[in-house]
Chains A and B, each alone.
Chain A
Amino acid sequence: MRLTDFAHAHIPAEAEAFRAEIRAFLEREMQDIPPVVRADSWMGYDAEFSRKLGAARLIGITMPKRYGGREAGAFARYVVSEELLAAGAPVSAHWIADRQSAPLLLRYGSDTQRERYIPGIVRGETYVCIGMSEPNAGSDLAAIGTRATPAGEGWVLNGRKIWTTNAHRSHYMIALVRTQDRAENRHGGMSQFLIDLKAPGVTVRPIRDLSGGEHFNEVFFDDVALDRDALVGVEGNGWQQVMAELAFERSGPERFLSSMALFHTLVDAVGPKPDALQAFQIGRIAAKLIALRAMSLSVTAQLDAGEDPAWAASCVKDIGTALEQELPEIAQLLTAIEPRVESGSDHAQVLAYLTQLAPSFSLRGGTREILRGILARGLGVR
Chain B
Amino acid sequence: MKDMFEETIERVLTDLVTPELIAAAEEGAWPQALWQAIEENGLAVAATPEAQGGVGGSWHDAFVLVRAAGRHAAPVPLAETLLVNWLLGLAGLDAAPGTATFATATGSMDQGRFSGTLNEVPWGRSAGHILAASGGESPMLVLLPCSDATISEALNTAREPRDTLVFDAVEPLASAPFPTGLPTDALLLGGAMIRSAQIAGGLARLLDTAIDYANQRTQFGRPIGKFQVIQHQLAQLAEQTAISAAAAETAFAASEQAPDSLTIAAAKAVASEASGQGAAIAHAVLGAIGFTYEHSLHFTTRRLWSWRSEFGSHTHWSQQIGSTLCEGGSRNLWPILTSA
Contact = CB atoms under 8 A, between A and B. Distances in A.
B263 A271 contact: no
B247 A291 contact: yes
A55 interface: no
Contacts of B207: 4, 379
9 contacts: A2-B204, A19-B338, A270-B326, A271-B326, A283-B317, A372-B232, A376-B234, A381-B215, A382-B231
Interface in B311-340: 314-315, 317-327, 329-330, 333-334, 337-338, 340
B33 to A, nearest CB: 28
Interface of B: 60, 204, 207, 211, 214-215, 223, 225-226, 228, 230-232, 234-236, 238-239, 241-247, 249-250, 253, 262-263, 265-267, 269-270, 273, 314-315, 317-327, 329-330, 333-334, 337-338, 340
Contacts of A294: 246-247, 249-250, 340
A260 B267 CA distance: 21
Interface stretch (A138-146, A194-202, A274-282): A274-282
A223 interface: no
A380 B250 contact: no
A340 interface: no
A373 B229 CA distance: 10
B329 A267 contact: yes
B242 A280 contact: no
Contact of A290 (B225, B236, B242, B337): B337
Residue of A87, A273, A288, A381 with most partner-chain B CB within 10 A: A381
A372 B235 contact: yes
Contact of B318 (A86, A280, A372): A280
A268 interface: yes
A72 interface: no
B318 A274 contact: no
A284 B269 contact: yes
A280 B236 CA distance: 23
A292 B239 CA distance: 11
B281 to A, nearest CB: 12
Interface in A119-147: none
A89 interface: no
A220 interface: no
Residue of B249, B266, B322 with most partner-chain A CB within 10 A: B322
Contacts of B214: 381
Contacts of B244: 291
A111 interface: no
A270 B327 CA distance: 10
B4 to A, nearest CB: 15
A283 B253 contact: no
Interface of A: 2-6, 8, 10, 19, 82, 86-87, 260, 263-265, 267-268, 270-274, 276, 278-284, 286-295, 298, 312, 315, 318-319, 369, 371-373, 375-376, 379-382
Contacts of A295: 242-243, 246
B317 A375 contact: no
B321 A286 contact: yes
Contacts of B325: 267, 282-283, 286
Contacts of A280: 315, 318-319, 322
User: By DSSP majority rule, is chain A's interface helix, strand, loop, or mixed?
Assistant: helix
A319 B340 CA distance: 19
Contact of B330 (A267, A273, A274, A381): A267
Contacts of A312: 242
A276 B315 CA distance: 9
Nearest to A318: B239
What are the nearest 5 A-B pairs in CB distance?
A: A283-B322, A279-B322, A283-B321, A283-B318, A381-B225
A381 B215 CA distance: 6
B322 A284 contact: yes
B169 to A, nearest CB: 39
Given A4-B245, A291-B243, A380-B211, A286 B266 contact: yes
Residue of B315, B320, B326, B340 with most partner-chain A CB within 10 A: B326
A272 B246 CA distance: 30
Nearest to A11: B338
Contact of B263 (A279, A290, A376, A380): A290
Contact of B265 (A3, A267, A283): A283
B249 A8 contact: yes
B115 to A, nearest CB: 34
B321 A265 contact: no
A287 B326 contact: no
A290 to B, nearest CB: 4
A376 B235 contact: yes
A16 B244 CA distance: 25
Contacts of B239: 315, 318-319, 375
A241 to B, nearest CB: 26
Nearest to B252: A8
Given A375-B239, A380-B211, A290 B318 contact: no
Contact of A381 (B231, B241, B249, B250): B231
Nearest to B339: A290
A202 B148 CA distance: 85
Contacts of B338: 19, 82, 86, 293
Nearest to B265: A287
Nearest to B332: A267
A86 B263 CA distance: 19
Contacts of A282: 318, 321-322, 325-326
A265 B253 CA distance: 31
A326 to B, nearest CB: 12
Given A287-B247, A379-B235, A4 B329 contact: no
Given A290-B340, A381-B214, 14 more contacts: A4-B238, A8-B253, A87-B334, A280-B319, A283-B323, A286-B322, A287-B265, A287-B270, A291-B267, A372-B235, A375-B235, A376-B232, A379-B207, A381-B215
